[in-house]
Amino acid sequence: MLGFTNPTQKTVAHLQEHGNIVNIKLFEVNGKKQGLVLFETEEQATEALFKVFGNAQLEFSVSKLTILSSNSRESFDEAAFEVQRLTLDSKARESMAEEAERTISSSSSSEDDRKAWKWRIRMRIWDMMEAENIAQNPRPFYHRIPNFVGAASAAKNVGGLDVFPVANCVKVNPDSPQKQVRFLTLSGGKKLLTQPRLRTGFFSVLESQMLAPGAINEACTSVGVAKYGRKINLDEKIKVDLIIIGSVAVDPNTGA
């Protein structure tokens, strides 16, 4: 996929000479015209890029290149990724359960033992959610940030905060209860920074113009982030305007 600014009919016509174009999307961001052209193969996109750079008469600038063939998405093994993700999640929960039991059993009754009382609070919340039947899938929800009844309403409240509409880039954790927040971010034309899981990869960036129509909902899942997201590294220059995280328990007085 080639992304460029100031697209013209001449630009598109020239690109068509160098490969089979699967889809063209023209849009505007902050008053600037943008274009995305999806080629059938990565090789065609690469050839078009070099031909474009070699023609000085073309009146547009290439601001960013993402080579993403239609076949690359088709070759993404969703089933294998999901098996790996669930396996790593299960191991992580087992490790957390062992740590919780070890910390609580070896601690004194002193309230100064911070690790122990944090685990006791988490257990109290998980037990309460089970007793009141307010936990949502995925299960088991112990030893993870749990999904809960009302998560969508909570996301709506986030969207109503003064800081949300003015944020251009929002970092949202990948857990299930924040799925609707990720949807609001992408559907609102914002840049979403998230990760398929820290255990399966570093951060990825998604933007609505990177996605096919109707793909936003899938892009809000862990599989969708891995499938559609652009992976970034520690050298990436990116400004995050808002960070949204999940937690098992929050102090209503301090927010900690």
What is the DSSP annotation of 63-107? EEE----HHHHHT--HHHHHHHHHHHHHHHHHHHHHHHHHHHHHS
**Domain residues of the chain, as ranges?**
2-74, 78-132, 151-244
Residues 197-215: pLDDT tens digits?
A: 555 456 889 998 888 878 9
pLDDT tens, residue by residue, 102-161: 888 877 655 567 778 888 899 999 999 999 999 998 888 888 889 999 999 999 999 999
3-state secondary structure of 254: coil
- CB count within 10 Å of CB 177 equals 20
Q: Report pLDDT for 68.
A: 39
Q: In sequence order, what DSSP letters do the residues of 139-181 get, joined into one string?
A: S--TTS---BTTHHHHHHHHHTSTHHHH-SEEEE--SGGGHHH
Q: Does residue 36 contact residue 65 with C-beta atoms inside 8 Å?
A: no
Q: What is the model's pLDDT at position 213?
A: 75
**What pLDDT is attached to residue 82?**
77
* Whole-Å CA distances, 55 to 13, 52, 64, 87: 13, 5, 17, 50
pLDDT tens digits, 172-195: 988 899 999 999 999 999 999 997
- Residue 238 scores a pLDDT above 50: yes
Q: What is the pLDDT of residue 95?
A: 84
Give pairs for 149-155: CB < 8 Å, separation 24+.
151/176, 151/177, 151/178, 151/179, 151/180, 152/180, 155/180, 155/181, 155/183, 155/184
- The residues pairing with 94 across neighbouring beta strands, listed in sequence order, are none
pLDDT of the residue at 200: 47
Q: pTM of this prediction?
A: 0.65
- Give the residue, 53 or 196, on which the prediction is more confident: 196
Residue 121 CA to residue 41 CA, distance in Å, equals 53
Q: Is 50 exceeded by the pLDDT of residue 99?
A: yes
pLDDT in tens, 74-93: 567 777 877 777 787 788 88
CA gap 63, 5 in Å, rounded: 6
Tell me what pLDDT residue 66 has: 38
**For residue 153, what pLDDT is reported?**
94
Q: How much is the mean pLDDT over the chain?
A: 76
Domain 2-74 has CATH 3.40.50.460: no
pLDDT tens for each residue of 20-52? 676 666 666 555 666 666 665 555 565 565 555
Contacts 24+ apart (CB under 8 A), 210-216: 210/1, 210/36, 210/66, 211/186, 212/23, 216/183, 216/186, 216/187
CB 88 within 8 A of CB 79: no
